[in-house]
């Protein structure tokens, strides 16, 4: 395994928290957070909380990022946010193609690829989310869907990026993929990445699992060969449970 695959653990706050909660969260997360932690940690707050989080995490090893960005660098796009604006707030990462954006905002595979490329243009690392729905899995189309989403997302080679495999049926449902099921899909994705990007890029690619990860199931998932971290929703809203998940990924917390 490539050394660049240091565990990466991310919390997606979605549309939760106010400024006071965000400040308290940062204080509690950083309390006792060892500098030698064996994982990279990222928080994805709402846009309105980015300044608060940037202040709360300043000087720590925890990074922050935006939950979305526009495909275009700037322009007349009311209500949207640009990669440059995120970079201006000290973001290092940005989520691209979360299933809730694909579902609620009609983001196409192609748009996700353009977002990932725009992110790189502004020095942000895209965390590209892909995943099949329950119907697609039942229809035996999981690999076909993931391959289509992956090829479109990386069409413009937005390296370095991280890939988050998030089966839609496991997001916010309490239903987690078993470690074996997740590992087999991650192994498929790594082989696919080797075909599309080459062996070296595939070997160094961090593939995160997302979908109802909790402190209780994180350890059994992270030991899988091709699982390099987590994108966490619900359990990432509380600094205590998020720390528990981070702690499961290696010595440190």
Shortest CB 198 distance to ligand PEP, Å: 28
Please give the residues from 135 up to 174 whose contact with ligand PEP meets the rule CB under 6 A. 166, 171-172
Taking the CA atoms of 109, 171, 222 and 183 in sequence, report the sign of the dihedral they define.
negative
217 counts as binding ligand PEP under rule CB under 6 A:
no
E strand or H helix that includes residue 65: strand 63-66
211 counts as binding ligand PEP under rule CB under 6 A:
yes
SS3 232: strand
Residues 6+ apart with CB under 8 A from 34: 252, 253
Residues 6+ apart with CB under 8 A from 224: 179, 182, 183, 186
In the list 96, 112, 213, 218, the residue contacting ligand PEP (rule: CB under 6 A) is 213
Catalytic (active site) residue 166:
yes
Q: Which is nearer to ligand PEP, 91 or 197 (CB)?
A: 91
**Catalytic position from the list 17, 70, 98, 186:** 98
The tokens for 198 are 């080459």
The tokens for 142 are 């999981």
**Catalytic position from the list 100, 132, 136, 166:** 166
In the list 116, 231, 246, 253, the residue contacting ligand PEP (rule: CB under 6 A) is 231
Q: Which stretch binds ligand PEP (CB under 6 A): 34-42, 84-92, 116-124, 208-216?
A: 208-216
Q: Which stretch binds ligand PEP (CB under 6 A): 48-56, 111-119, 186-194, 225-233?
A: 225-233
Torsion of CA 103, 107, 109, 114, to 10 degrees: -150
How far is it, in rounded angstroms, from Cα 3 to Cα 39?
12
Binding site for ligand PEP (CB under 6 A): 12, 166, 171-172, 210-213, 231-235
- The set of catalytic residues is 98, 166
């Amino acid at each position: 395994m490539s050394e660049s695959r240091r565990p990466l653990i991310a919390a997606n706050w979605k549309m939760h928290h106010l400024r006071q909660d965000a400040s308290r969260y940062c204080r509690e997360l950083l309390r006792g957070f060892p500098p030698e932690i064996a994982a990279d940690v990222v928080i994805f707050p709402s846009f309105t909380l980015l300044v608060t989080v940037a202040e709360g995490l300043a000087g720590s090893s925890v990074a922050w990022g935006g939950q979305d960005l526009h495909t275009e660098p700037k322009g007349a796009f009311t209500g949207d946010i640009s990669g440059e604006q995120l970079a201006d707030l000290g973001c290092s990462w940005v989520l691209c193609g979360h299933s809730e954006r694909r579902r609620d905002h009609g983001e196409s595979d192609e748009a996700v690829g353009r977002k990932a490329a725009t992110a790189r243009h502004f020095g942000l690392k895209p965390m590209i989310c892909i995943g099949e729905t329950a119907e697609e899995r039942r229809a035996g189309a999981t690999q076909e869907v993931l391959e289509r989403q992956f090829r479109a997302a990386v069409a413009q080679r937005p390296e370095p990026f991280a890939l988050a495999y998030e089966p839609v049926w496991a997001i916010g449902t309490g239903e987690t993929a078993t470690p074996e099921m997740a590992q087999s899909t991650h192994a498929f994705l790594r082989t696919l990445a080797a075909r599309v990007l080459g062996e070296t890029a595939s070997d160094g690619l961090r593939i995160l699992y997302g979908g109802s990860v909790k402190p209780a199931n994180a350890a059994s998932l992270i030991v899988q060969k091709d699982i390099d971290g987590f994108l966490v929703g619900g359990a990432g809203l509380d600094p205590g449970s998020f720390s528990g998940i981070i702690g499961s990924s290696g010595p440190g917390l």
